[in-house]
Amino acid sequence: MNHPVDVPHDAPPGARPTNRSRPPRRRLPGLDAVRALAIVGMVYMHVSPTGWLSPAPARDTPAALEWVQHAVSGRSMSLFVLMAGISVALMTGGPAPLDGDRLATARKRLAIRAAMLLLISLCVDQLSGMNLSILEFYAVWLLVLIPLVRLRPGTLLAAAGVLGAALPAFCFVVLNYGRTWAISPMNTAGAEPAFGLTLLLNPQDWLAKGHQLLLGGGFQTPYAIPLLLAGLAIGRLDLRSPAVRGKMACCGALLVAASWLVSWVALVPLGAERALAAMMESTGGPMVQPWASVLTLPPHQLYALSIPMAPMMTGVGLLLLLAGLVTLLERPGWQPALRPLTAAGSLALTWYAAHQVFIERVAGDPPYAFTLFAGMAVFAFVVSPLWLRWIRRGPLEWLVHRVTVMVAPDRTAAARHKAG
């Protein structure tokens, strides 16, 4: 049943409807395709294959596999973070931000989603035996963005620019001059903190976990914040507009070129490459990186300590998203061809959790072969479209959605449906 559009009675002729009654917008398959690429890249990082058909010693890794490892290292996670910001923007109205009761409901749903992701992450940690997964960081990032969803794109981009320079410098100082800050504290008993579901039963370890999520895991949260803000700003624009996509693709190209140029200047004219080589050859005293290295891109610098890295990945995301996959997947001929990719992106949460458990509990001890990664990727690409033919969401996506709408129902939409 089609419900009437809710335009205020005192509105002038031709007034636009309020976002309280905005019709649902069609999902952008290009965003799912980017999510899939990000997840596939992170799976490759976790597998880190050292041979094609069988694993080999790390020193004998084929050059092609080493190149792929360098190419996806840090970059896949960066796309994942950028997509997190875009997703939050879309969940809170996209180019027409929600307000009033619907905004309050959306914020509650984000908080519930964060809690669900934290619980799922703890379950994954428990099953896999790992101490930390990206899903725990994702839960924290959702909470960080909740109070920021009403900011304008310009404000978000300005904040992303300032923090994109300040936070890598902060992480650089911590790593080189205050390493103890980057190490998660022990619990009150002086032992390693609990992980997985057992963490819920050990409140004495919660402070250590909070420290780990803020500064641990390779400074993932400080590095993520500028990308989250940039993603939130991107999601506030009309991604369906060819004109907007064209402008943003040009901005993306400029960001990529400028980031590469800054890195080259730091490496060659400023001498960061020579200084880093001399530091690696030094055998006495603590290794302190040269300050010029904070202006270089990986692999010369850790991604979280690289000022050009966040702008570079924002630019790559704009080009990949807007000039590439979003535009490409608007063409009907490409939609069936890329259906495995977009379907896998729709099940990103399920596949990420599943691959963590599979690697740790089924695949055996590293090193691994490329065939393991290829088999996991092909399995996801084959199963995802088949699953979505029968069920709208993946298993974990369905669980998060059901809990979210049950705990925080959209009462405005329910009232409108009843009135209709």
Cβ–Cβ < 8 Å for 245, 323 = yes
- Per-residue pLDDT of the chain (420 residues), as tens digits, is 333 333 333 444 444 444 444 545 667 899 999 999 999 999 999 999 999 999 999 999 999 999 999 889 889 999 999 999 999 999 999 999 999 999 999 999 999 999 999 999 999 999 988 877 899 999 999 999 999 999 999 999 999 999 999 999 999 998 888 766 655 555 445 566 778 899 899 888 888 888 888 887 789 999 999 999 999 999 999 999 999 999 999 999 999 999 999 999 999 999 999 999 888 887 666 678 999 999 999 989 999 999 999 999 999 999 988 778 999 998 888 999 999 999 999 999 999 999 999 999 999 899 999 999 999 999 999 999 999 999 999 999 999 999 999 999 987 655 554 545
CA distances from 390 to 193, 305, 328, 345, 383 (A): 42, 45, 26, 17, 11
Domain residue ranges of the chain, discontinuous segments joined by +: 29-48+61-278+287-408
Torsion angle in degrees (nearest 10) through CA of 362, 366, 371, 372:
30
Task: Please give the DSSP secondary-structure letter assigned to residue 420.
Answer: -
* pTM value > 0.75: yes
Cβ–Cβ < 8 Å for 340, 21 = no
Tokens read off for 42: 């992170």
CA nearest neighbour of 222 among 333, 137, 95, 111: 137
CA nearest neighbour of 340 among 29, 28, 25: 29
51 forms beta bridges with 369
Question: Rounded to whole angstroms, how far apart are CA atoms 213 and 217?
Answer: 7
